[in-house]
Amino acid sequence: LPEAAAEHLRILIVGVSVIAVIVVFFISSLVAGNQRLRKKHIALRKSEAKYRSLFERSKESIVIFRPDGSILDINDAGMELFGFECKETLSHCNIKQVYPSDVDFDSLVITLMEKGFVKDRELVLRGRDGRMLTVIESCNAVFDDQGQIVTCESIYHDLTQWKRLEEELFNAQKLESIATLAGGVAHDFNNILAVILMNAQFGIEDSKSAVQLQNRFQEIKKAAGYASELTQKLLTFSRRQEFEPELVQLNDMIAENEDVLASLLGETIRLDLDLGSRLPYMLATPVQVHQVLMNLVTNAHDAMPDGGVVRIATRCVAKDDIPFETSPKADSRHYVLLTVSDTGVGMDDTTVSRMFEPFFTTKEVGKGTGLGLAVVHGIMERHRGHVRVVSEPEKGTTFMLYFPASDKTPAAVLPSVMHTSKQPQRHLTVLLAEDYERLLKANEQILGNMGYSVIAAANGLEAVRAFEACHGNIDLAVLDVVMPELGGVEAYQKMQERTPRLPVLFLTGYDAGRTLTNLKRLNQEHIVVLNKPYYLEEFVETVEKLSRLVARSTA
């Protein structure tokens, strides 16, 4: 080949190789670029899936919307919270609908424009079904290049349940402190009433010749009687009253009271009973269940001035079927449900929220003390039960009371042996202990009038000393339960060391607790408890009954 041609060929080969290298390089960088792109795409998809899952599965409600409120996206929690039905129709939905007013929504958008976000704003929204929802709202705005809001991303934390529990706790604490106060006052008040009652009785007896004066004393006695009923209600409410539950059948108790309840309701109100079959037994104090029934039926009567229907129903319900607002206090698996409903005037929300407060009444002065439902509440607490109320103005009211059911049935009761021996009385010595001086004096006088020798003591310690000093030659003891230095029960236990079956009458302003209950549980006829304030007749009768025991044991 000529020299020039060879040179051309070389140049051509070099040129082709350079182009080949460039092409190879170009292709390989294209492939690499493509791979990088694919990797990026995969990473993007993964990240998208991750955040979508975070959005969809979050238990907090997340809503993305335009500044005019039109919804772009909402997660399942949000759908449920606000009650939106299906995502497909969301384009017609506006988040403004759940805000109480347009002003509330607009203020959110204005803050977003100014600050770009809103953090932890508490507000009450309204779900699509009308439910009020307390929520904490946090929201971020996304802006475009011109600084205009494109979308708003809002998270709503539902506080509704918390708020309700908080309110219930607050109410429970309020009731608790009022109960303590009421109980304390009622206890002291009982001592005073006991003195009034007794002196009124003395007055009646001393003024037999002066009829007018005797009438006055009768009035004092009657008034003190009413006052004593009032303190009794307070003590029941404050749970200081004796609580001695027994196994009872709710149906039996209702049947026993049917006549009384019907007469309470009068002729214009019909009483319907719907008693469930095979109710389990429950541990309850019959007097208190009776009181619950009376209080609820009285309220129903007052709520139906133009007549109506009261329905009393009983059922056995499983714990799991009860919508407890708070955790149940008892661990029973079943509850006995007592429902008392009326077709009366019903209550508005304010009355419902305050009805259990003692002294809360909407009735005119002299018509209601406002203690009826406070007592019901106290009794249900005592029974570790639960009360629910549904009421609507002009529609009526339903009270649902859940008593924990017992899985026991009562053992056959042995007939008690009545002692009616009438032994002649010998001269007896009574040891009397009471720290409230006026009551001590009054009791001393009565016992003296009854013909007993009385040794009086101002507290338990003095009583024990007096007992020792007369070498246990005491026939009968009358002891106040709560006294300084040494209480009545403790004093009695010391006396029992010498005289195990010493007849005793305990006087108590309220349940002095386990010791007294334990003593009584022994079911010994020589131990009797009388609640203050008692009527003179009751006191005399009880002391006489105890002294007959002495007579019998010494006969």
Ligand X SMILES: Nc1ncnc2c1ncn2[C@@H]1O[C@H](COP(=O)(O)OP(=O)(O)OP(=O)(O)O)[C@@H](O)[C@H]1O
Contact status: 312 vs ligand X (CB under 6 A):
no
Residue nearer to ligand X on the CB measure, 346 or 533:
346
Q: Say how far apart CA 70 and CA 94 lie, in whole Å.
A: 5
Nearer of residues 281 and 360 to ligand X, judged by Cβ: 360
**In the complex, minimum distance from the CB of residue 411 to Mg ion, in angstroms, rounded to a whole number:** 37
Site for ligand X in 281-310 (CB under 6 A): 295, 299-300, 303
- Is 378 a binder of Mg ion (CB under 5 A)? no
* Residue 362 in the binding site for ligand X (CB under 6 A): yes
The stretch near ligand X (CB under 6 A) out of 20-28, 368-376, 449-457, 509-517 is 368-376
Minimum CB separation of residue 291 from ligand X in Å reads 11
- Site size toward ligand X (CB under 6 A) is 23
b/e per residue, 457-478, with b = 16+ CB within 10 A?
Answer: bbbbbbbbebbeeeeeebbbbb
Site for ligand X in 506-525 (CB under 6 A): none
Amino acid at 554: T
Complex with ligand X: residue 297 or 516, whichever CB lies closer: 297
Q: Which residue is nearest to ligand X (CB)?
A: 372
Pairing of strands 476-480, 282-284: unpaired
* Per-residue contact string for residues 284-303; x = within reach of Mg ion by CB under 5 A: ---------------x----
Q: 147 or 226, CB closer to Mg ion?
A: 226
Cα R_g (the chain), whole angstroms: 40
End-to-end Cα distance, the chain:
162
Q: Looking only at residues 321 through 360 of this chain, which bind ligand X when binding is defined by CB under 6 A?
A: 342, 344-347, 351, 355, 360
User: What is the DSSP track for 183-241?
Assistant: HHHHHHHHHHHHHHHHHHHHHHHHTSS-HHHHHHHHHHHHHHHHHHHHHHHHHHHTT-S
Q: Which is nearer to Mg ion, 296 or 491 (CB)?
A: 296
> Interacting stretch for Mg ion, rule CB under 5 A, among 200-208, 314-322, 364-372, 388-396?
364-372
Q: Which does 293 bind (CB under 5 to 8 A by kind): ligand X, Mg ion, none?
A: none
- Residue 258 C-beta: closest distance to Mg ion, Å: 20
Question: Which phi and psi (to 5°) does residue 435 adopt?
Answer: -85, -20
The piece of 56-64, 75-83, 368-376, 426-434 that touches Mg ion (CB under 5 A) is: 368-376
**What angle (nearest 5°) sits at the alpha carbon of residue 161, between those of residues 157 and 165?**
130
Distance CA 340, CA 398 (A): 6
> Site size for Mg ion, by CB under 5 A?
2
Residue indicated by tokens 């019903």: 346
Place of tokens 């539950």: 245
Q: Is 369 in the site for ligand X (CB under 6 A)?
A: yes
* Partner whose footprint covers residue 355, from Mg ion, ligand X, none (CB < 5 to 8 Å by kind): ligand X
Conformation bin of residue 472: beta by default, left when phi > 0, alpha when psi is -120 to 50: left
| Sole window of 136-144, 147-155, 306-314, 372-380 interacting with Mg ion (rule: CB under 5 A) | 372-380
Taking CB under 5 A as the rule, which mask of x and - marks residues 485-524 in contact with Mg ion? ----------------------------------------
Q: Binding residue for ligand X (CB under 6 A) from 363, 395, 408, 426?
A: 363
Cross-strand partners of 429: 453
Closest CA to 295 of 199, 368, 386, 218: 368
Query: Residue 88 Cβ, how far from Mg ion at the closest point, in Å?
Result: 53
Residues 384-403 vs ligand X: string with x where CB under 6 A?
A: -------------x------
Nearest to 535 by CA among 232, 246, 312: 232
Least distance to ligand X, CB of residue 356, Å:
7
Min dist CB 296 to Mg ion, Å, is 8
CA-to-CA distance for 432 and 440, rounded, in angstroms? 8
Q: With contact defined as beta carbons under 8 Å apart, do 458 and 484 qualify?
A: no
Minimum Å distance from CB 355 to Mg ion? 9
For residue 533, say if its preceding peptide bond is cis, omega within 30 degrees of 0. yes
Q: Which of ligand X, Mg ion, none does residue 508 bind to, with CB < 5 to 8 Å depending on kind? A: none
CA distance 109 to 102: 11
Cβ proximity to Mg ion: between 372 and 487 the closer is 372
Query: Looking at beta carbons only, is 188 or 229 nearer to Mg ion?
Result: 229
Q: Is 178 in the site for ligand X (CB under 6 A)?
A: no
CA atoms of 406 and 333, how far apart (whole Å):
9
Of 155, 234, 371, 428, the one binding ligand X by CB under 6 A: 371
β-pair type (282-284, 334-342): unpaired
Q: What's the gap between Cα 525 and its chain centre?
A: 37
Output the CA torsion sign for 192, 193, 197, 200: positive
Residue among 515, 472, 466, 523 nearest 496 (CA): 472
Report in angstroms how near the CB of residue 368 gets to Mg ion at its nearest: 6
> 180 Cβ partners below 8 Å, 6+ apart?
238
- Which of 78, 346, 358, 372 contacts Mg ion by CB under 5 A? 372
Q: Under DSSP, is residue 85 helix (H, G, I), strand (E, B) or coil? A: coil
Comparing CB distances to ligand X, the nearer of 139 and 345 is: 345
CB of 165 to Mg ion, least distance (A): 28
Closer to Mg ion by Cβ: residue 374 or 528: 374
Interface residue list for ligand X (CB under 6 A): 295, 299-300, 303, 342, 344-347, 351, 355, 360-363, 368-374, 397
Interface residue list for Mg ion (CB under 5 A): 299, 372
